[in-house]
A and B are shown apart, each in its own frame.
Chain A
């Protein structure tokens, strides 16, 4: 369980940090803003602090789909609030309705990016598992068919 937690934390930290760097690169290119090297540490810190609730959430195993959806919804809100807090803390921009809206769009982008990466990796693994299942049980069925 503890190992699972740290593995999830590391995976999400890498994915979120990558997505934040992409979002920052796009924003800085279009705004023409110059930033110092402190931004790199701030991005790493924000990647870690937002990966943390994700790794905690994945430790829960709700039975019902409804509870699972509620937990993911709350998780999204928490990530959004943390990001707004980080904006204020690091002074990345002033808190205005426009900056909050843009942050919302950025969080949606990072969320979709991270979920898609994980989904695509899982899909690849699942295809492999399906292949193994087919191989294993088609052999068994063949033996059963040969038996009278």
Chain B
């Protein structure tokens, strides 16, 4: 199956067209997960309530039973558990990188290895995030380097 991505004309809406003889289960579940994938969530900062777009979030971190979304310079509290965010954003490029963190792969500038076997992700806002050894395999799978078991 070929995948073609075309840029729409200016002011045209984004549209997904599937051209196939008969849609199978795999295709339907893929389209449903695409349609249902959450792309927004509510963030709380002091007395402000903000709609956060997934692509603005650099990483999520759990700290003392609270979960925070780290954006370019602001940090918002979100009312989700880390595992819920992991499930919600799994179809997107979010990756569990340690027991307490989920990182947006799109925000990774580059990776560097550490002597302890972990990886250090240098983010586009200058922050650094550690990727534990047990999650390196998922990162490789997401990047198409290693097959998912």
A binding-site residues for B, Cβ under 8 Å? 1, 4, 58, 61, 63, 68, 72, 115, 118-119, 122-123, 125-126, 128-130, 132-133, 136-137, 140, 143, 146-148
Contact between B108 and A133, CB atoms less than 8 A apart: yes
19 A–B pairs (Cβ distance < 8 Å), ordered by A: A61-B134, A115-B115, A123-B113, A126-B111, A126-B112, A128-B145, A129-B143, A129-B145, A130-B111, A132-B145, A133-B105, A133-B108, A133-B111, A133-B143, A137-B106, A143-B5, A147-B7, A148-B10, A148-B11
Tell me the dominant secondary structure on chain A's binding face: helix
A133-B110 in contact (CB<8A): yes
Output the least CB separation between A51 and chain B (Å).
14
**Count class of interface residues, chain B:** 20 to 34
B144 within 8 Å of A (CB atoms) = yes
Which of B8, B119, B144, B145 contacts A122, CB < 8 Å? B119
Q: Cβ of A68 and Cβ of B110 under 8 Å apart? A: no
CA of A147 to CA of B5 in the docked complex: distance in angstroms? 13
* Chain A neighbourhood of B11, CB < 8 A: 148
B90 part of interface (Cβ distance < 8 Å): no
Using a CB-CB cutoff of 8 Å, which residues 109-146 of chain B contact chain A?
A: 110-113, 115-117, 119, 132-134, 139-140, 143-145
- Within the complex, the shortest CB–CB distance from A127 to chain B, in Å, comes to 9
Are B111 and A129 in contact (CB-based, < 8 A)? yes
For the complex, give the distance between the alpha carbons of A140 and B104 in Å: 14
Complex interface: chain A residues within 8 A of B145 (CB)? 125, 128-129, 132
Measured CA separation A120–B130 after assembly (Å): 18
- Does B33 sit at the interface, judged by CB under 8 A? no
Known: A1-B134, A68-B116, A126-B113. A143 touches B106 (CB 8 A): no
Contact with A along B1-29 (1 / 0, CB 8 A): 00001011011000000000000000000
Residue B99 lies at the interface, judged by CB distance under 8 Å to chain A: yes
List 5 extra interface pairs beyond A129-B145, A133-B111, CB under 8 A: A4-B133, A119-B113, A122-B119, A129-B143, A132-B143
In contact, B133 and A58 (Cβ under 8 angstroms): yes
Measured CA separation A126–B144 after assembly (Å):
13
Known: A4-B133, A61-B132, A133-B143. A119 touches B115 (CB 8 A): yes
Q: Which residue of A lies closest to B112 (CB)?
A: A126
Cβ of B100 within 8 Å of any chain A Cβ, yes or no, is yes
Chain A residue nearest to B11 in the complex (CB): A148
**Contact between B117 and A122, CB atoms less than 8 A apart:** yes
Cα(A72)–Cα(B115), bound, Å: 10
**Inter-chain contacts of A123 with B (CB < 8 A):** 113
Complex: how many Å from CA A63 to CA B111? 18
**In the complex, what distance in Å separates the CA atom of A52 from the CA atom of B133?**
17
